[in-house]
Structure 1
Amino acid sequence: MVERSVWYRLPEEVTERIFSYLPIASVLRCRCVCRSWNSLLNSRSFLELWGRVSPRDFFFLVYHNSQLVAAYSPSSGRWNNLPIFDRCSLDPGRVLLLASSGGLLCFRNRNSDYPTLIVCNPVTGTSRVLPEMLRVRYIDIVGMVADKASNSYRVLVTGTTEPTSNESITEVYDSRVEGWIHHGFSKLDFLQVWYEVHAIWQNGSFYCLATPVNTARGYRFICYNLERRQWLDLNVKMPSSDIRSPSLVVCGDKILLTGKIVVDYFIRSICIWELNWGNLKWVRVGEMPEDELTKIMSPYSVLLQCQGLNDLMCFSTHRGWQSIMYDLSERRWQWLPENDAYEKNHTVAMGRNSLIGLPYEPSLSAK
């Protein structure tokens, strides 16, 4: 057994290197041992080193209502019920989880004439109420991207000043300047959407599926180039007119579309398509096997949400205890263990925001 005094004789850079290989939960526990460790493990040099060499872990968050955020860890194979609201000093009945990036979560306040966004790091317990948006009062599209190199983030919001307005406004919050930047006005019809849309980030642009109010074309695959400050309709046709509960996810360098195929009011299949950038078409790359589909078979009204990170995709239904994971590289489906926080007979409201799935990578330094 190593003597306790050995730790005090080690050079600080050696101690930092040893601690940098610990998972995030162990680092948080070690901070409570003594003042010197707490100071060391909060230092800028350690946080930068830990960010480079620590074991990478992530969670699939499943957010069903205003009270609970469940998190599945693929590395441990277990569900965790994260005390996000307590850690960030948020009232769960007054906020709605919108986006996740770089260890940060973005929330919006509920039931207010003036929408307010809150960005928090549930690991460190830090949170920031963003300043009031310049012009937007009704949010239609929201997305978030973090830059680990500069330890900064940006939040995209597109919306209107009035619910009946046909002029959309795009604004971006940049944490480097701690303020909103007006990106412009637009009367493009595909920005007038039925309900709040969550955008994903890939290679310099935000992407989302929008259902415009004044068109019968159905889902539109649109993107916003952040540097050019430009919205585009990519004119990518949906692979089927029978798709319900579609989700866009990013896995590595791929943009994937998932959804259930509903025929005669029942789910006939759940498929995965990859966007072919060469011809801007969706190519089917996966389908849930019949044996697995029968376990999820239910009326078409069941909500389905998908999230992805690296080579893994997690599908969840509005039943909190039912989730299945798909490994893109191994082409393998795997049912996740039941989440004990949800009862099988638990009824969840079927509103648009009653089921949200987000990938989350914990961070000690994001703020």
Structure 2
Amino acid sequence: MEDQELWSRLPVEILEQVLSLLPIPDLCRCCAVCKGWNSLISTSQFASRCLQNHAKEGQSYVVARWIAELDLDADPSPAALDLELESYERRGYLGWSILDVEAKHWYRLNHHEHVDGFECLSMQGCMAADRGLVCEYIGGFLGGPCVRISNPLTNHGIRILPAPPKCLEADPRDVLMNFVVDNIGSSSFKVFFIRTGFTTNRYCYPGGVVEPFMYIYDSGTELWRSSSNPNSLLDKEGFVGYLGSTVMFQGRLFVLFSSSRHYEYCLFSYDILEDVWEDTGIHIRSSANYRVPTLSQVQLLVSDDRLFLVYWGSLNRFPDACCGLHMDEVLLADADIQEVFQMTPEELLVVFHLAAAQESKFQAFGFQKSVILMSEETGVSLLYDLESALWSQLPASLMDPLPDGYELWFGDPVNRPQRRTAYQLWSGKAMNLRLPSLPWVRDKRRMPDGLVMSHFCGEGTR
């Protein structure tokens, strides 16, 4: 690309074909160095072709939502507290980081949003992603509870309104959500919103258990519709309700709920067209005979067209298993699961650089023919190859704990108190990226302004 004269002689069709094969970060740099390339790359036709090419290769990125907040306890002096009160709106920051798994490189997007202290404390958002778009359920932020669709490269998006009242009243920690882009060209999509959890409010069964429900939003009709209730699959003495996990697999929505019937997790599948729930027959019970499921951080994921389950704890069907981090393959045809690997707390302590050998928060992603495990505490990630059963280290994320007095990379240090800043991983998803020039809202009047590509900066770690 150094010989600009040579590139200028290429036919537009060949130039478009070559550029469309480049990774998204490289395309963003091309826009900055050549006006001709910028003009070509900024067309919706090129963006659509680029997304189709990358979709054939499979997912290539992990997009992570992070929060940074100032720690008031680190500097309790009256002067610092007064300064904090004067600039209260600036004590929290919200942004995006992107891991290029193939290149083993983290990027930071240089746009961010300010959130106040109360919002920082309640940031337990729910996120889903598909084909370059991210769907978030955010409580008490950006104008109130909302379901928001956006392109992380631009940080512009739309709020889906009107949302059902039960959706807007849900605690983000009690929400399961999935998001599917049906068509790349038209960018039609569906949102699956499931509310569940043990809590007390007016939608409860006797005993304080929320009746689970699911609403589906279709961008084609711009309407929400309710689904049938999976409780009909259980007897009168049982119900499903506690937070589990959800994933799209082979055209169906799979949801893992906990059941009060035998204090176990039950895997259900949902037929979108027929509006029918089915019990897969896979019921997972922890090895400890407690009154509630002792499994935690239960996550479903898909990799290499196979369904997997990641969790912390141990199962009664594996009596020799340790109480640690596990991954099992879900065998739907046999209504069974098969152990893939397990990691003891002591092993996790070493490989993820944890401070203590105890239960830690992890996120798991299916990636082509591999699985990525990411620690929310240290930002360390490991990649497990399903074919070779070998582990490899990925670069630590940009959410590593920060030292005292460290200023955020986008921050203005003039009016900020010198104190510890804490990074928190909100959520992350494996996905492909899409160029900002590819429209994804049918009504052009709702398209956000200022779609620019300069936000994708090259700072990162290898």
Structure 2 Cα separation of the partners of residues 238 and 10 of structure 1: 59
Say which of 96, 104, 108 aligns to 1:77.
Answer: 104
Say which of 178, 181, 184 aligns to 1:143.
Answer: 178
Q: Which amino acid counterpart does residue 40 of structure 2 have in structure 1?
A: L
Say which of 194, 214, 221 aligns to 1:170.
Answer: 214
Do structure 1's residue 286 and structure 2's residue 288 form an aligned pair? no
**Secondary structure of the structure 2 residue equivalent to 1:47:** helix
Structure 1 window deviating more from structure 2 (174-183 vs 57-66): it is: 57-66
Alignment of 1:60-99 (within 5 A): 60-63=62-65, 65=67, 67=94, 69-83=96-110, 86=112, 93=119, 96-99=125-128
Please name the residue that 1:361 is paired with.
432
Q: 1:76/1:292 Cα in 2 relative to 1: closer, same or farther (>3 Å)?
A: farther
TM-score by length of 2: 0.65
Q: 1:272/1:194 Cα in 2 relative to 1: closer, same or farther (>3 Å)?
A: closer
Structure 1 Cα separation of the partners of residues 66 and 31 of structure 2: 32
**Contact 2:195/2:213 (<8 A) preserved:** yes
Structure 2 Cα separation of the partners of residues 170 and 366 of structure 1: 28
Structure 1 window deviating more from structure 2 (89-98 vs 250-259): it is: 89-98
**Contact 1:246/1:260 (<8 A) preserved:** yes
Please name the residue that 1:58 is paired with.
60
Structure 2 Cα separation of the partners of residues 179 and 152 of structure 1: 13
Q: 1:134/1:330 Cα in 2 relative to 1: closer, same or farther (>3 Å)?
A: same
Structure 1 Cα separation of the partners of residues 64 and 4 of structure 2: 42
Task: Show CA shifts across 1:49-76 (max 9, x none).
Answer: 3234357662234556464544332212
Q: 1:90/1:249 Cα in 2 relative to 1: closer, same or farther (>3 Å)?
A: farther
Do structure 1's residue 270 and structure 2's residue 317 form an aligned pair? no
**CA deviation after TM superposition for structure 1 residue 232, in Å:** 2.8
Structure 1 Cα separation of the partners of residues 245 and 114 of structure 2: 21
Q: Which amino acid counterpart does residue 279 of structure 2 have in structure 1?
A: D
TM-score by length of 1: 0.80
**CA deviation after TM superposition for structure 1 residue 135, in Å:** 4.8
Q: Which amino acid counterpart does residue 59 of structure 1 have in structure 2?
A: Y
Structure 2 Cα separation of the partners of residues 141 and 268 of structure 1: 25
Say which of 115, 123, 130 aligns to 1:101.
Answer: 130
Q: Which amino acid counterpart does residue 220 of structure 1 have in structure 2?
A: C
Q: 1:126/1:241 Cα in 2 relative to 1: closer, same or farther (>3 Å)?
A: same
Do structure 1's residue 133 and structure 2's residue 166 form an aligned pair? no
Say which of 291, 303, 307 aligns to 1:255.
Answer: 307
Say which of 313, 316, 322 aligns to 2:374.
Answer: 316
**CA deviation after TM superposition for structure 1 residue 340, in Å:** 4.8
Structure 1 window deviating more from structure 2 (294-303 vs 339-348): it is: 339-348
Task: Show CA shifts across 1:272-305 (max 9, x none).
Answer: 2111122110011233489844515845442233
Say which of 227, 238, 241 aligns to 1:193.
Answer: 241
Please name the residue that 2:44 is paired with.
44
Structure 1 Cα separation of the partners of residues 50 and 340 of structure 2: 36
Structure 1 Cα separation of the partners of residues 339 and 266 of structure 2: 18
**What is the total number of aligned residue pairs between the two structures?**
357
Structure 1 Cα separation of the partners of residues 58 and 229 of structure 2: 40
Please name the residue that 2:258 is paired with.
211
Q: 1:359/1:227 Cα in 2 relative to 1: closer, same or farther (>3 Å)?
A: same
Q: 1:59/1:280 Cα in 2 relative to 1: closer, same or farther (>3 Å)?
A: same
Please name the residue that 1:27 is paired with.
27
Alignment of 1:334-353 (within 5 A): 334-343=392-401
Query: RMSD of the TM alignment (CA)?
Result: 3.8
Q: Which amino acid counterpart does residue 43 of structure 2 have in structure 1?
A: S
Q: Which amino acid counterpart does residue 17 of structure 2 have in structure 1?
A: R
Task: Show CA shifts across 1:312-349 (max 9, x none).
Answer: 21222331333322111221112333335312899979
Structure 2 Cα separation of the partners of residues 223 and 288 of structure 1: 29
**CA deviation after TM superposition for structure 1 residue 252, in Å:** 2.2
Structure 2 Cα separation of the partners of residues 170 and 363 of structure 1: 28
Structure 2 Cα separation of the partners of residues 302 and 81 of structure 1: 25
**CA deviation after TM superposition for structure 1 residue 239, in Å:** 6.7
Q: 1:11/1:169 Cα in 2 relative to 1: closer, same or farther (>3 Å)?
A: same
Say which of 121, 128, 153 aligns to 2:189.
Answer: 153
What are structure 2's unaligned runs of at least 5 residues?
69-93, 289-294, 316-320, 404-419, 441-462
Q: 1:317/1:4 Cα in 2 relative to 1: closer, same or farther (>3 Å)?
A: closer
Q: Which has the higher contact order (CA 8 A, sep 6+)?
A: 2
Structure 2 Cα separation of the partners of residues 344 and 205 of structure 1: 42
Structure 2 Cα separation of the partners of residues 38 and 63 of structure 1: 28
**Secondary structure of the structure 2 residue equivalent to 1:234:** strand
Flag the structure with higher strand content. Answer: 1
Structure 2 Cα separation of the partners of residues 185 and 341 of structure 1: 39
Q: 1:316/1:11 Cα in 2 relative to 1: closer, same or farther (>3 Å)?
A: closer
Please name the residue that 1:14 is paired with.
14
Say which of 270, 287, 290 aligns to 1:241.
Answer: 287
Structure 1 Cα separation of the partners of residues 21 and 7 of structure 2: 16
